[in-house]
């Protein structure tokens, strides 16, 4: 299964129209120091596949993983795919791309 790299515009549009559930896999201290509005914290250090699947099922939007720069989110997708979870999309630029572009940060 392939990993799909989304750019800032795709993520921004998905958040704006309510179609994307942006799952931030950075650590809690990173998330607390700044995150993309509307994203939810789901740190890799406490990664629970069943809890992730429950979050996605309860939310109903298209899940997209995000991290600081796209490395951890891609790694998380590879792991999930190896466990039979068919998630494919992540924000390739991550929080750094978002913040450096001057987008709103919470």
pTM of the predicted protein model: 0.96
| Residue % of the chain over a pLDDT of 70 | 100
Distance of CA 100 to CAs 36, 44, 59, 95, Å?
12, 23, 29, 8
What confidence score (pLDDT) does residue 58 get? Answer: 97
- Of the residues 6, 25, 67, 76, only one is catalytic, namely 67
Residue 71 bears catalytic tag = no
CATH class of 4-101: alpha beta
8 Å CB contact between 66 and 22: yes
Q: pLDDT, tens digit, for every residue of 96-106?
A: 999 999 999 99
Domain boundaries, the chain: 4-101
Q: pLDDT, tens digit, for every residue of 44-74?
A: 999 899 999 999 999 999 999 999 999 999 9
């Amino acid at each position: 299964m392939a990993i799909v790299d989304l750019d800032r515009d795709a993520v921004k549009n998905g958040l704006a129209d309510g179609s994307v559930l942006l799952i931030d896999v950075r650590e809690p201290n990173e998330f607390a120091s700044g995150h993309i509005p509307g994203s939810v914290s789901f740190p890799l250090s406490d990664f629970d596949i069943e809890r992730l699947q429950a979050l996605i099922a309860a939310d109903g939007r298209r899940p997209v993983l995000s991290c600081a720069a796209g490395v951890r989110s891609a790694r998380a997708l590879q792991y999930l795919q190896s466990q039979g979870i068919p998630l494919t999309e992540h924000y390739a630029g991550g929080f750094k791309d978002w913040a450096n572009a001057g987008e709103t940060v919470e």
